[in-house]
Every structure is written in structure tokens, then in C-alpha cells.
Amino acid sequence: MTAPLRTWLRYLLALCSHYSGMDWLYRHVSGAGLVILMLHRLRDDADPYPLSMSRANLRQIIRWLRGQQALVGLGEGLRDLSPAAPQRVRYALTFDDGYHDNLGLIDASLGRVPAVVYVATGHIGGEPIWAYRLAHAIESRSRDQVDLGGLGMGHFDLAESDDRYRLYTLLPPRLKELEPAELEAWVDHLCEQTRPRPIPHENREMLDWDDVRKLYVNGVEIGGHTCSHAILSRLDDAAASEEIGLSRASIAAELGNAPRHFAYPNGGRSDFGDRDVRLVRDAGFTTATTSIEGVNRPGADPYRLLRFNVHADRFRAPSGQLSKALFFSETSGMLGWLRGLRTA
């Protein structure tokens, strides 16, 4: 089956599920749930990674959720999973890493948004997470020739669009296989080869502490996301404990209030383990989110919370417009359940 055909079939299935009432029935039968949406960036620019959403699309999603009285803060959403609470599905917004464009959350047109922004404290006011250092090295380069023979990837001519696409496709998964220090060294090496133009301060990628405080005083919760965005499962006990504990201490010192929430960097099943769950709990955090998809139900482990990845293409109809049917049918778990039946 071709990709365009799969896109149309997924869209038509979502339309049928949503407007026939099947999605509503699925939610009703499934009972209480908390859907945690995982976002990263708020911007209109093209993004080589599936991490960005426009402010207009976020505004639309917030309108849909408020129309159903479903948008809540993370803490309230978890309390609503108790047996005594009404049996309904709520939604919470979270943002990972700490990008400067997250200041769009305090846009007056959005009203007060109950969200959590998880910040990698070592990147606040400094260099972006490695993925966007890589993007900047490619897009703002002053040299086109790149040699990655040391990674077994050969030569790239970035003047060619096919080579740029190939680099974006192949290099990030290869870098994720490396130890943190080696990963950063290879990004440095790429920057040395491409010699990108400096980023003006007004176009900086990451929040600084003044920005973080501005979010906080406007009702956005600030959570921990380690210091360096290190994948915890690759660290020894001392390093993992330091990454978690120092991130919490830094936020507490800057805001005068210790953070309650944590997000595991990368957050996949292989990116954290029982040890890391224990370290997060012992550090004083009361919740931790993953990037594993699903709806959180009563009895969910507060240190292994599920989330749905949200970006510009995730809920886009074939017309290019954001689709209400796709959004609600995907995040209810309905489409995932149907896909599971098909592959069972």
C-alpha cells in the first residue's frame, strides 16, 4: 500500500469513527482517562524534525478541548483519574526541552494555558539541544562539503537537496547510538566543517532564565528534563542521579519553588529503566512522563505516564488542514485499537 493511500485510509477511518459516534462510544466504554500531549516547539518555520506546531494549530486544539471542558493541568488530570472523580477523558499539555518559542504559550489570544514546560537546565540561555545545533549547522552553513567517514557515512554535498535530506534522515539515528560526549563531539565536528553563521540573540533557540520566570508567573509549570538532555539509561548511577538532582535544584533556585514534574529525555522504553524511575522519585519529583503512546487510566504509574507526540503533520488531513476527527480519534486510542485488531 502506498503512503498516500495509507494517509487517505487513516483519514477516512478517523472521519467515520469521529462523526458516527464510534469514537465517543469508545471513550465512554473505556472510562476515565488522561491524554497527555507531548509538544516541543511553537513555530511556523519548516522543521527537519517532527517537533514543531504552529501557534494557529495549537490555538485550534485548545479551542476544541475547551469546548469539551477537557483541558486541565497535569496535576488536576491525574487527580481526576481517582475512582471518586467523574468518568471522563481529560487532556494535559506538555512541552519538552525549553525552546524560546514556548513563550507563545503566554499569547493573550490563548488565554491562560495550563501547561508544563520541561526544561533541560544546562541548555537554558545557551546552545540548543544537539538536534537543532545540527539543523543550524546545515541550514546556516558557509561550507557545503561534509565528511562523516568516521561514522561510516561517507561524504555529503549540502548544496544538493538530496544530500541534505539524506543527512537529516541518516545522521540523527546514528548519533543517538553514541555516548553523550561522543555525540556532542561529532556535532562539534560537523559545525567545524560547515562553519555556520552565528545566531543573533533575538533568534536564539532556547529559553533563558528570565523567559522561564515569565512562563512561570503566567501560570505555566516548569518541570525537569535533566541538565544536558542525556539519555538516562546510558549513564552510570552517579551521573544519572546528578543529571536528575541538579536539574531540580537549578529550577528550585531560579524560581524559588521546587518542580513537581519530570520528563525522561527521549522517553522511549529503552531510554530509562527502574533505576531512573527510583532516582526521579527520590529526587522529589511527583510525576514523570515518557514518550510511550497511550491513554493514562486509573491506577497509572505516576512515574511512567504515557503521552501522544504532537507536531504539524500528526493530525493533518490530506487537504493540509488540521483535522478534528484525526485529533480526537487518535488521542482517544480508537485508531490505535483498530490498527491493533487489523494486525492481530
pLDDT digits 0-9 by tens, 15-47: 988 899 888 888 888 888 999 999 999 998 888
Residue-level length of the chain: 344
β-pair partners for 93 = 37, 115
The pLDDT of residue 344 is above 60: no
- With 0-12 CB in 10 A as exposed, 13-18 as middle and 19+ as buried, what is 30? middle
Take residue 304 and report the three cell numbers written for it. Answer: 511512567
Nearest in space to 216 (alpha carbons), one of 250, 264, 259, 265: 259
Type of residue found at 17: S
CA distance 236 to 234: 7
CA distance 125 to 263: 20
pLDDT at 341: 62
What is the enclosing helix (H) or strand (E) of 261? strand 261-263
Whether residue 281 contacts residue 304, with contact meaning beta carbons closer than 8 Å, is answered with no
User: Which residues, 6 or more positions from 305, have their beta carbon under 8 angstroms from its beta carbon?
Assistant: 34, 36, 287, 288, 289, 290, 296
Measured between alpha carbons, how far is residue 221 from residues 64, 98, 162 in Å? Answer: 22, 12, 41
pLDDT at 2: 75
β-pair partners for 289 = 263, 305
pLDDT at 63: 95
Where does the pLDDT of residue 90 fall: very low under 50, low under 70, confident under 90, or very high at 90 and above? Answer: very high
- Mean pLDDT, residues 103-130 taken together: 93
Domains and CATH numbers, the chain: 21-126+206-343 (3.20.20.370), 131-194 (no CATH)
pLDDT digits 0-9 by tens, 240-260: 999 999 999 999 999 999 999
How much of the chain, in percent, has pLDDT values that exceed 70? 96
Measured between alpha carbons, how far is residue 225 from residues 30, 188, 215 in Å? Answer: 31, 23, 16
pLDDT digits 0-9 by tens, 148-206: 999 999 999 999 999 999 999 999 999 988 888 899 999 999 999 999 998 877 778 99
Return the minimum-mean-pLDDT range out of 304-308, 309-313, 334-338: 334-338
What is the enclosing helix (H) or strand (E) of 308? strand 308-309
Measured between alpha carbons, how far is residue 272 from residues 191, 241, 262, 308 in Å? Answer: 29, 12, 12, 18
Helix (H, G, I), strand (E, B) or coil at 37: strand
- Mean pLDDT, residues 209-228 taken together: 97
pLDDT at 337: 72
Take residue 38 and report the three cell numbers written for it. Answer: 507531548
